Chain A
């Protein structure tokens, strides 16, 4: 192995997806020296690069249009969102997205009006990389972070990682650090999500951050069986059938997922897209160029032939949970540490729903912007920007016993077997969650005792630790929330309990503690 790479920077961004990209750009625009590290390649990594994000788009005029948009979304957030945060992300997105125009060819519609809100993923990320480069951001591809560094008072002052292609470790000391590692999709084959193993959740909690909304982690997206193609728009026209060709009564809408999951538990489900209008079929390769790839390659015409479908788990990607945002700068309550995008809890804008479409991209852009700018300001405030730090990682890096070498593939398979099956995660119950948590506890102890150490594949053992940790946090929160709310549905507690309309915070690694957030409205009412 080559000598380690050691660097200093004002701001370190960990993750080069949508949120990390905007964080890097915002930090550089604040005048900071910025370094961005990605596990893969900044431009193709993550779930945005493979998709087509539409942003929540509401011009400031007329003002009542924005108010209405916020009121509508807030009304279906199950009491857990905050209209002020919605207003903030709408406004910042509207002001910021057009600044990408020199790097992204925004389309014009038939009337010559420029269309800003929806972008193609690969082109979007390519544009963001170019802009970041032009602003002087130093980009390290294939350089996953594995742990944070913190000073004696707990301030985060950098990170350690590994360069997969150069085969060397890296240490970067920074005045401010932004976690933008994405959600955790539990290696479900969700398109573009393999790098999203929850690494940032683990790093953040090790540094002292809290989590929120981890119970909202049961969102699934339809795809042709055996494929990763979770581009879901065309399924708005779908009809579904059982293996005998009998039509399934599955209404369009968010509840379609649960109905599909139930049908898939009973047997194969076939889909027909024959209701798709001709004009949509014709333009589809230009709207979503990757949607047709599986069909064309398999020689299937989805508009005349039925094809088998599956559901791919989104974990905390289109789920909601993540590091709890503690202030308007997207700080996580730990000095020097900020979070952006899917690694952060999206409850502030989405509540107990996925947030669907628009809100998630606007959140990634906005939280990235605030986190990057705040990290830049924080790095300026420090009298001595670069501090020595202590490595914060343990599980998957520094085994406690090392009695035997952990089978990482087997451990990851075991996590998936708890977190992905529909009967366990879509149709949750206290009994099933408790049983899964026993398995995950054993795995966690095994990872802590035996994974990592000299000669181990540091990145893979760390990913395994993060997957197990994320699973424990999701199901601990799901067990604690003894009701059904939004995407979190308990068959043993099917009603929404008005008293539980509060966010649920978690913290801790070996011993997970949880407590409901103070009910702001109730506190205000009694004050």
Chain B
């Protein structure tokens, strides 16, 4: 969940207040916004994407708050990572950060080919549980290993 709003970096543009889908931030008169409702954070990282100053840090743990250190995160290159890798803002025309999302199809094809090359696994459920009973119709035998929209 959201852990840091780094005031030294923040330009008080209030983009985070506007775009946070769960309304975690409050604007303050003449200053940086505040994390007003940390418990409402859904750990979607969207605020980081929209923060042009890279002043926000969302910890990946969505279940409990984590102690983090701004200087350390900065030195590890983790502030602004999502925006950079997405090619947003000043990164938009950097070839190294171009949008390669369309490659998902070919990646799934690689996975299918690799799965076919491996010896078949037993289909019994793990730990010998009989949770999946005999005779049920298997879902989507023709489907790719995972549905290609995530």
Q: Does B140 contact A (CB under 8 A)?
A: yes
The CA-CA distance from A76 to B87 in the complex, in Å, is 38
**Partner pick for B149 among A52, A195, A494, CB 8 A cutoff:** A52
Please tell me if the beta carbons of A258 and B99 are within 8 angstroms of each other in the complex. no
A residues near B45, Cβ cutoff 8 Å? 50, 290, 293
The answer, yes or no, to whether B7 is at the interface (CB within 8 Å) is no
State which of A28-36, A484-492, A502-510 sits at the interface with chain B.
A484-492
A478-526: which residues lie under 8 A (CB-CB) from chain B? 484-487, 489, 491, 494-496
Contacts A43-B19, A285-B85, A360-B149: A118 and B46 contacting too (C-beta < 8 A)?
no
Which A residues between 215 and 234 are near B, CB-CB below 8 angstroms?
221, 224, 226-233
Q: Mark B124-145, 1 if CB is under 8 A from A, else 0.
A: 1111010111111111111111
A-B pair number, CB within 8 angstroms: 270
Q: Determine whether A72 belongs to the interface, using a CB cutoff of 8 Å to chain B.
A: yes
Q: Is A236 close to B, CB under 8 A? A: yes
Q: Assess whether B115 is in contact with A252, with CB atoms less than 8 Å apart.
A: yes
Interface residue total, chain B, C-beta cutoff 8 A: 73
A121 to B96, CA, bound (A): 20
Please tell me the number of chain A residues within 8 Å of chain B, measured between CB atoms.
Answer: 106
Main secondary structure of the interface of B (DSSP, over half): loop
Are A233 and B139 in contact, with the CB atoms below 8 A? no
List, in ascending order, chain B residues with CB within 8 A of A51's CB. 149-150
> Which chain B positions have C-beta within 8 A of A52?
101, 104, 149-150
User: Across the interface, do B108 and A233 meet the contact criterion of CB distance under 8 Å?
Assistant: yes
Asked whether any CB of chain B lies closer than 8 Å to the CB of A334, the reply is: no
Chain A 97-128, CB-CB to B under 8 Å as 1, else 0, gives 00000000101010000010111101100000
CB of A40 within 8 A of CB of B81, answer no
Q: A235-B145, A286-B85 are in contact. List 4 more A-B contacts (CB 8 A).
A: A41-B18, A41-B21, A76-B143, A258-B132
Show the binding face of B for A, using Cβ within 8 Å: 17-23, 40, 42-46, 49-50, 59-64, 78, 81-82, 85-87, 96-105, 107-108, 110-112, 114-115, 120-127, 129, 131-150
Nearest 10 pairs of A and B residues by beta carbon: A40-B21, A356-B147, A494-B133, A236-B111, A294-B60, A194-B42, A115-B102, A289-B85, A263-B126, A286-B100
